[in-house]
Each structure stands twice: as C-alpha cells, then as structure tokens.
Chain A
Amino acid sequence: MRLRPAGGSLMSTSLLVVQILNGLQLGVLLFLIAAGLTLVFGVMDFINLAHGVQYMLGAYLAVAIYALTDGFLAALVLALAAMLAFGLLLEFAVFRHLYDRDHLDHVIATFGIILFLNQGVKLVWGAAPLSLPMPELFSGSVKLADGLLYPVWRLVVIASGLAVAALLYWLVAHTRIGMLVRAGATNAAMVSALGVNIRRLFMIVFGFGAMLAGFAGIMIAPILSVEPGMGDTVLILAFVVIVIGGIGSIRGAFVAALLIGLVDTLGRSFSVDILRLVMGPSPARTVGPAIASMLIYLLMAVVLYIRPTGLFPAKGR
C-alpha cells in the first residue's frame, strides 16, 4: 500500500523520523485489520478473505454517513455500529454454516463476497475515489523539530491504534471473554465441551473483528482515497502479518504489523539510495522499487523458512 509521503524536509535524519512515523502508522493500521483476522483464524479456524472488504465498507459507510450528518464523530460511531451489525449478519447468513467445512470452501465463499462487495460499492457510490474530510480539530500539522512538520491526523491514527491495542490486550488477557477466546484459540472443541456456548463466542469475535477492520478503514479514509478494491491490498498485507506473527496470536500480530509497516515504508523510501551505494543511479532506480515492494514477502518467506508456524505461534496448534 502506497501512502502519500507526509512532511517534507531536507535533512535525512528528519526524513528518517518522518518515515519511521509513517511506518508506525501503517503498522498500527495493519494491526487493526490483522487483529480481527487472526482472532477469526485462530479461534474458528476460518479463512476470511472478505476481511479486507470489511475495511473498505467501513470507509464507505463513514463517507456516506458523513454526507448525512456532517460530523466526523457521528460518522465514526454510526459506521462502527453499522459494521458490527454487518459482521454479525455475515456470520449469521453465511459463515456459521462453513465452520466445519475445509479451508477451500472458506476461500471460495469469501472470494464470492469480495466480488460482490467490491462491485456493490461501485454500483452504489460509483467507481470514482471518494474522500472523507478529517475533523477540523486535527487537520493541521505539528512541529516535531526545526523544519520537521508532521500532520496531526497521522499522529491521531497512531495513537488510536495503540489505544485499541492496549484495549485488546486488556480484553484478551484480563477478562472472562478474553480467557474464553484464548482457550478457544487453543482448543475450541474442549471449550465447547466445558459448557461454553462456542457459537455465541464465535459470533461475538466475528462481529468485533468486522468492527476493528471498519475502524481501520474509517481512520485511514481522510488520508487515503476511498475506492473499490482498496481492501484487497490491505487484505494480503494483513495475511502476511498474521502468518509472520503466528496465527491466532494477538501479540504476534502486533509485533509483525509494526515490523511490516516499518520494513515496507522504510524500504520504499530508502531502497534506491541504499542500492546506489553498490550500483549506478539508473539501475538503482529500476531495481529499487521492485525490491522495495517485494521486501515484506521476502521477509515472510524467510520467517516461514526458519519458523514454519510464525514468530509467536499460539500454543497447542
């Protein structure tokens, strides 16, 4: 995913700081998406390719609600509620019938949902990119150092992502429902045998995951253009994150998301400069972007080669 570069500076250290912040921002965004995905994957053993379109739908719903209410906060809250309802509906109508099928059935059914929703938003809102205005309060830039301006909204995205990460940690590690989720990720059948209504747990996890993906879409909408297919790239990145982190592990998803965010952003910014140390400027300009866009997949291949179940595999799998 290519984010517009933020801030401008002549000094390379401040460029580095800006790019690290951009990397962090991409990282927390990926974490918001990957957290829901890894939970659904870990607890229900369900491959949800449609997770990316939930992110897209969140952004579209926020744009639509903003047009009606003219307030960012109202758009955020209502779109989140709508995403929760949408996630529950999807679980009720389709996914709960597929939990005991094999992964291939998951892939096809959710692939069908991707086709439907990508085209559906085109049908309703048109193919042209839309934008969501950011709240007035956060629309400026903040001066981090001399000659180093950084947009406030990006800092808000980073902060809200970290806040959600903290909330998730508390939910998963210190509440009863979190305990059940952890137990479900380890052995869902055993949890069910102990008398827990596992179907209801699945439904809650699923709705919550859809809401997190929608939240990511809404928060990034003021920076990115809202368009059909915006979820597809992010979906693949989120899968890379959960596979590197270890499926079912929130902690793994967090570490891997930040790692991927930083590696991708820094790779794109500095690959040409680094390659110019070993080759001429013209080949470096050709090879650099290619290596930069492959970097995270290379990282994933290396991680899986060394640790075939990711960095923090959920225990018992």
Chain B
Amino acid sequence: MPASLAASLPRPRGGLPAGMLPAGIFLVLALLPLVGSFTGGSYLMSLGSRVMIFAIAATALDLLIGFSALISFGHAAFIGLGAYSVGILSAYGITDALVSLPVALAVSAAFAFLTGMVCLRTTGVYFIMITLAFGQMAFFTASSLAPFGGDDGLIVAARNTLAGFPLLRNDRTFYYVVLFCLLATYLFCRALVASRFGRVVRGAKENPVRVATIGFDVYRFQLAIYVVAGALAGLAGFLLANATEFVSPAYMSWQRSGELIVMVLLGGLGSLDGAIIGAAAYLLTEEWLSGVTEHWKVIFGPMLVLIVLFARGGLIGLASAVVRRFIRG
C-alpha cells in the first residue's frame, strides 16, 4: 500500500477526527487521581498505574507487531529484565532511579540486541517460536537465581528514590510519573513511526524485498526497532517493580507474553492509541470479572474467541464501525 507509506502517519480508521482519541485518553488518565480523591483513591490509583505500565509495554510491542510484522512471543522477558534490574540493584543497596532506570533500559536493550541478531534470521512462525524460546530462557534464568529469590521472587525493600528524594513513594506522584512515562513513550513512538526510519520499517512490513531493492538493509532497521521495543518494555519493567515493590519470574512467563499480544490485538494493530486502549480493556475486564467470580477466565476466554470471530480490527475497529454506522444514520 504505497498510499499509506506516503502518509506521514497511519490514518485513523474511525470516524473521529485524528488526535481526539489520544487526547481524550490522556485527559481521562490525568484526571483520574482527582476522581480518586473523592472515592477511596489508592485502589483506583494503583489500578491506573498498572494499566499505564502495561500500556507502555503494549505500545512497545505494537511497534513490532503492528508496524513491523515481527510477532514477538517473548516480550514479557524485557519487562522482567527491567524489573530484575531494579530488584537486584536494590538488593545491593543501590536504590536511586538515576542509576536503576538507565541500567534497566541498557540491560533490556542489550538482551534485545543479542537475541534480535539471532531471531531476525528467521521469519513468520519460526520468528514467533524463537522469540518464545528466548523468553523461556530468561524465565528459567530468573527462576534459578537462588540469591535473588529463585522461583519465589524478590521483595524490593522500597521504591526507588529520584536523585535522593523519595518522590516515588507518594502514590499520587508515582501515578503522574507513570503517566509521564506513558505520554513520553506514546509521543516518541508516534514520532518514530512517522520518521524516515519508521517509513522504512513500515515499508519492510509491506514488502521487505522491495525495500531491500531500493537499497535499505532491512535487517538493520528491524534490529533497531527490536532494540527500541525491548528497551521500552524494560522501562515498563522498571515501573512495574517500583509499583508492586516485588519482582518475580512470573513477570516473564510465556502467558504474560501472550497477554501482551492479546492487549495489542484487542486495541487494534498498528495504531498506538489501540495498544493503550487494549491494555486498559484487558486489565479492567480482568479486574471486573475477577470481582464477579473467581472463575472469571471461564467468561473471559470465550469473550476473546468472540472478539476474534466477530470484531476484526480489535476494539478500535469495532468502535469505528459503530461510529460510521451511527454517522450515516
């Protein structure tokens, strides 16, 4: 589709004017703590932080699945690496975010670089499976880290300080820090996708042979975006470890990677807004249904099947179809 390549950004499929949806999302997120202050706010705020943290990871994964057709089935490993960076550093008494955040980003980026060099040799189903294999390796490595809790995980004594100040320990401040990280991630990814670099990556998604023929080394571009997506998931891991004050191998299990894929698809592929909406929809539905019954997965599983069967393009696709029908009368 050369037309979509020429456009600076993927066109929104819905009837809403471009930019209104993300603006609305971030407005709601920014106002949430104010609502929370009237009604037992700490629950709402911790739920909101969790949603935004997974939205960061889902946005990163959307860069791969939605914009590069690289279906990574091991993306939870990067969240785990970011989280373990925080946990292990704080076990050694290093608790400042100015150290642990760069370490978390560097570790997950390095892992993405090394594994990406191998994974990107394969395509299609084999790529899905080899990313899964590396995710499992990270999972088993974490499970066997006996000095750092092994299977049981590791308790982080306290949230990181920021340049020595215990800013993150206030739940509301932490919420806004997470919101800032999500906004920064979102804007960064939008700019990246719209840039020349992003156009090459999106072109390679449509037709790698043609892009190679024009003279681009597709492998290097894909490796670069794989590293970026890995580092951003590492950021999510850094925040997750601080939010829960706990790190565990379960963060890296293959089910987590599957959930991340579901989040991206639920929102709709290749639209960064969709990743945020998908993460929110997934986690809020989980929260709601698990309040209804402990066997919530019996309801949630068939819901996923129905969404795949009947709502192509995810929730955004569904919503814009409804909006279009509504506008036409």
Contact = CB atoms under 8 A, between A and B. Distances in A.
Given A116-B302, A236-B136, A108 B144 contact: no
A298 B137 CA distance: 8
Contact of A309 (B126, B132, B141, B262): B126
B262 to A, nearest CB: 6
A120 B298 contact: yes
A109 B137 contact: no
B297 A297 contact: no
B301 A114 contact: yes
A114 B297 CA distance: 9
B228 to A, nearest CB: 21
A105 B317 CA distance: 14
Interface in B133-150: 133-134, 136-137, 140-141, 143-144, 146
A111 B258 contact: yes
A159 B65 CA distance: 43
Interface residues of A, number: 46
A77 interface: no
A41 interface: yes
B125 A41 contact: yes
Interface string A111-134: 111111111101100000000000
A71 interface: no
A160 interface: no
A118 B297 CA distance: 8
Interface in B281-303: 295-298, 300-303
A301 B129 contact: no
B76 interface: no
A236 B309 contact: no
B129 A111 contact: no
A103 interface: yes
B122 A308 contact: yes
B11 interface: no
Among B124, B144, B262, find the residue whose CB has the most chain A CB atoms closer than 10 A: B144
A155 interface: no
Interface stretch (A80-88, A207-215, A273-281, A288-296): A288-296
A104 interface: yes
Interface in B264-280: 265-266, 269
A112 B133 contact: no
A304 interface: yes
A239 B132 contact: yes
A37 to B, nearest CB: 12
A111 B301 CA distance: 7
A308 B71 contact: no
A118 B132 CA distance: 21
Contacts of A98: 308-309
B130 A304 contact: yes
B214 interface: no
Nearest to B124: A103
Given A286-B144, A308-B121, A308-B122, A300 B130 contact: yes
B134 A112 contact: no
B45 to A, nearest CB: 28
B261 interface: yes
A47 interface: yes
B255 interface: yes
B254 interface: yes
B295 A112 contact: no
B216 to A, nearest CB: 21
Given A107-B261, A304-B133, 5 more contacts: A107-B73, A109-B305, A112-B302, A117-B301, A290-B143
Top-10 shortest CB links A-B:
A116-B301, A112-B304, A290-B144, A115-B301, A119-B297, A293-B140, A109-B308, A115-B297, A297-B133, A112-B301
30 contacts: A94-B309, A104-B65, A107-B258, A108-B261, A108-B262, A109-B308, A112-B302, A112-B305, A115-B300, A116-B297, A116-B300, A118-B297, A119-B296, A119-B297, A232-B255, A236-B132, A236-B254, A239-B129, A240-B133, A243-B130, A294-B137, A294-B140, A297-B133, A300-B133, A301-B130, A301-B134, A301-B137, A304-B126, A305-B118, A305-B121
